[in-house]
Amino acid sequence: MRRLLVVGMLAAFTFTSAAAQNLEIIKARKDLLSNMGDATKEPGKMIKQEVPFDAATVKAALDVIIDKASKLPDMFPEDSKTGGKTEALTAIWQNKDDVASRFKKLVAAAKAAKDNVADEFDFMETWPKVVGNCGACHKKYRAEKK
């Protein structure tokens, strides 16, 4: 009887810790993604000419993208498909290589852009090439907003 109780407790413990880990990584990847979202806000306004162009802000945003997007390929383990209000589509886990290479491509585009945003004209041409990667992946792998 006592042994059964211990086994039961162990099972319950294993279950809760697995669930906790899963929610933790979902939260962590959402944080990385929303950091990138926040970073793109000011340059997005610059593109629309709502605020004046500022090269330093753009470069800082590119650094955030490079940093976060480098970490993101590891943020989709098998136990993070559901829960935590994730908008990640299951297609991600069927196309892991494609997802990883899209993040790599985003990093490469952001790195290349850093040398090409010194003036507003270069920025206007370069910025859309960076953020085009965001929308393209969302279309394929992120649930539509309802």
Return residues touching ligand HEC (CB under 6 A).
26, 29-30, 33-34, 36-37, 40, 65, 86-88, 99, 102-103, 106, 131, 133-134, 137-138, 141-142
Residue type at position 106: L
Of 106 and 117, nearer to ligand HEC (C-beta) is: 106
Beta carbons within 10 angstroms of residue 134's beta carbon: 18
Residue type at position 83: G
Of 28 and 124, nearer to ligand HEC (C-beta) is: 28
Q: Compute the Cα dihedral for 138, 35, 145, 75 and give only its sign.
A: positive
Torsion of CA 59, 62, 68, 69, to 10 degrees: -160
Of 47 and 134, nearer to ligand HEC (C-beta) is: 134
Of 14 and 101, nearer to ligand HEC (C-beta) is: 101
Non-local CB neighbours of 112 within 8 Å, separated by 6+ positions: 126
User: Can you read off the two tokens belonging to residue 105?
Assistant: 């491509």
- The closest alpha carbon to 71, from 101, 23, 103, belongs to 103
Q: How many angstroms separate the CA atoms of 115 and 100, rounded?
A: 24
Of 37 and 55, nearer to ligand HEC (C-beta) is: 37
Minimum CB–partner distance for residue 60 and ligand HEC (Å): 13
Minimum CB–partner distance for residue 24 and ligand HEC (Å): 12
